[in-house]
Amino acid sequence: MRRGPFRDGKFRSALHEPRTTVVLGRWLGAALLVCFLTGLVSHALQDPPTWLVPYLQSRPVGGYQVTQGLHVISGLAAIPLLGAKLWTVYPRLFEWPPARSVLHALERLGIFVLVAAMLLEVFTGLFNTLQWYPWPFPFRQTHFWLAWLATGGLLVHIAAKGTLIARHWRRPAVGLPQRRAFLTAVTAAAGVVTLTTAGQTVPFLSGLDLLAPRRPDIGPQGLPVNRTAAQAGTVTAPADWRLRVDGPRPYTLTLAELAQLPQHDVELPIACVEGWSATARWSGVRIADLMERAGAPAGAALRFTSFEANGPYRVMEMPSEYAVDPLSLLALRVNGEVLKADHGYPARVIAPNRPGVLQTKWIERIEVV
Ligand SMILES: Nc1nc2c(c(=O)[nH]1)N[C@H]1C(S)=C(S)[C@@H](COP(=O)(O)O)O[C@H]1N2
Ligand SMILES: [Mo]
């Protein structure tokens, strides 16, 4: 720019230079790679395409807890790294003339799309952990497609800057003291963000969980709640509540009858896609037992329906792999107590290695499909 506060020569910091950008870019790239891959896992587990269903695994029990924990941790760490990296290059936003050639204009347009997609991606993710949706579009699909756009854009960007990156990849013989100080500060910021939010999913860090919206041990019966019974309109279960199981041999059971069936105890986490996870001891009836009693054929999948009036998670499909797992329960109790309404009274699903959104609460119907 020729005039104004952003004109050439107005950017005095020695750190608007490629070596600093490259170092930050490497850290950011590593965080984004972890975030992208774990995000694909999450998407596949929550909403698997048909071809993938036969490959889904109910073990390791806490697999989703780990991948989703890493997703949120790496995504949050990416925010200060992205901010710092953009700061090192932002003077170029005011380049003059704005376009030297068609190619240069296209390159700048590409950078604009990349930066916009990245910023939207990390901030929609951050807002999601806060359960704050100040936008009219669906979160999950937008976050998914933006991830591809941002990743594709990033690969093109890395290819376009390949020579520059290579030139500044190795530590220069004489370092800049400001650079060291700046990188230390950025590392510290990313570290603080990580340490004060990871506790929402990493048990031994829960005491440091200052910035995360959740603590895994706070909530009714020692567990957080995403959608409360009041929000779902299920504070009181229907007076004539019965579990209805539809299959070759359909039947219904009262709560008392369910409680008479063999009960099993499992220790399983709820790992919410919104970033928190918490493990509890659940007791109830094996889903496989209910299925067998309905005469379900081998390999059958199940569909669960909640008596919640409406809501995106009212109906849930469970592939056979999870249905036959002895750890998958229709739980009636948690941590030794009857489920509170917020946790799904009278009965909820709990199964290993599945996203929290699929641990359906307030169940009234199971269908063999
Ligand atoms: N019927 C129904 N079940 C539901 C939900 C819901 O909105 N409706 N929310 C799900 C989500 S997003 C999570 S993370 C878990 C949380 O379980 P909790 O509230 O018992 O901790 O319940 C799941 N089960
Ligand atoms: Mo969730």
Best of 307, 359, 365, 366 to mutate for ligand 1, by most ligand atoms within 8 A of CB?
A: 359
Q: Strands 348-350 and 251-253, how do they pair?
A: unpaired
Q: Is the dihedral of CA 149, 151, 155, 160 positive or negative?
A: positive
- Ligand 1 centroid, distance to 276 Cα (angstroms): 12
Q: CA 121 to CA 79: how far, in whole Å?
A: 10
Joined tokens for residue 33: 């790679």
**At what angle are helices 102-129 and 63-89 packed, to 10 degrees?**
140
Q: What is the pLDDT of residue 53?
A: 96
CA of 344 to the centre of ligand 2 (A): 13
Residues 6+ apart with CB under 8 A from 180: none
Mutate-to-test residue for ligand 1 from 227, 340, 342, 362, highest number of ligand atoms within 8 A of CB: 227
Closest C-alpha to ligand 1, atom 6:
313
Instruction: Please return the burial class of 120, using the count of CB atoms within 10 Å of its CB with bins 0-12, 13-18 and 19+.
Output: middle
Which residue's alpha carbon is nearest to atom 18 within ligand 1?
A: 225
CA distance 298 to 136: 43
CA pair distance 306, 169, nearest whole angstrom: 55
pLDDT of residue 75: 98
Instruction: Give the model's pLDDT for residue 2.
Output: 78
**Angle at CA of residue 280, ends 31 and 369, nearest 5°:** 85
> Which atom from ligand 1 is nearest to the alpha carbon of 355?
14
Candidate from 357, 362, 365 with most ligand 1 atoms within 8 A of CB, to mutate: 357
In this structure, which ligand is nearest to the CA of 309?
Answer: 1
Both tokens of 212, joined, read: 């995360």
Instruction: Output the pTM of the full model.
Output: 0.96
Length of the chain: 369
DSSP 152-165: HHHHHHHHHTHHHH
User: Pocket of ligand 1, candidates 226, 308, 315, 360: which has the most ligand atoms within 8 Å of its Cβ, to mutate?
Assistant: 226
Residues with CB under 6 A from ligand 1: 223-227, 232, 270, 272, 306, 308, 311, 313-314, 342-344, 356-357, 359-362
Residue 19 to residues 171, 266, 296, 364, Cα–Cα distance (Å)? 8, 52, 63, 60
Q: Are 36 and 348 in contact (CB under 8 A)?
A: no
Specify the residue with its C-alpha closest to ligand 1, atom 23. Answer: 357
Beta bridge partners of 284: 264, 331
What span, in angstroms and rounded, lies between the C-alpha atoms of 341 and 200?
23
| Centroid of ligand 2 to alpha carbon of 46 (angstroms) | 11
Q: Give me the phi and psi of 367, to 5 degrees please.
A: -120, 135
Cα 354 to middle of ligand 1, angstroms? 12
pLDDT at res. 203: 86
Tens of pLDDT, residue by residue, the chain (369 residues): 778 888 888 899 999 999 999 999 999 999 999 999 999 999 999 999 999 999 999 999 999 999 999 999 999 999 999 999 999 999 999 999 999 999 999 999 999 999 999 999 999 999 999 999 999 999 999 999 999 999 999 999 999 999 999 999 999 999 899 999 999 999 999 999 999 999 999 988 988 999 988 888 889 999 999 999 999 999 999 999 999 999 999 999 999 999 999 999 999 999 999 989 999 999 999 999 999 999 999 999 999 999 999 999 999 999 999 999 999 999 999 999 999 999 999 999 999 999 999 999 999 999 999
d(CA 248, CA 368): 8
Distance, in Å, from the CA atom of 253 to the CA atom of 265, rounded to the nearest integer, reads 20
Tell which atom from ligand 1 comes closest to the C-alpha of 278.
21
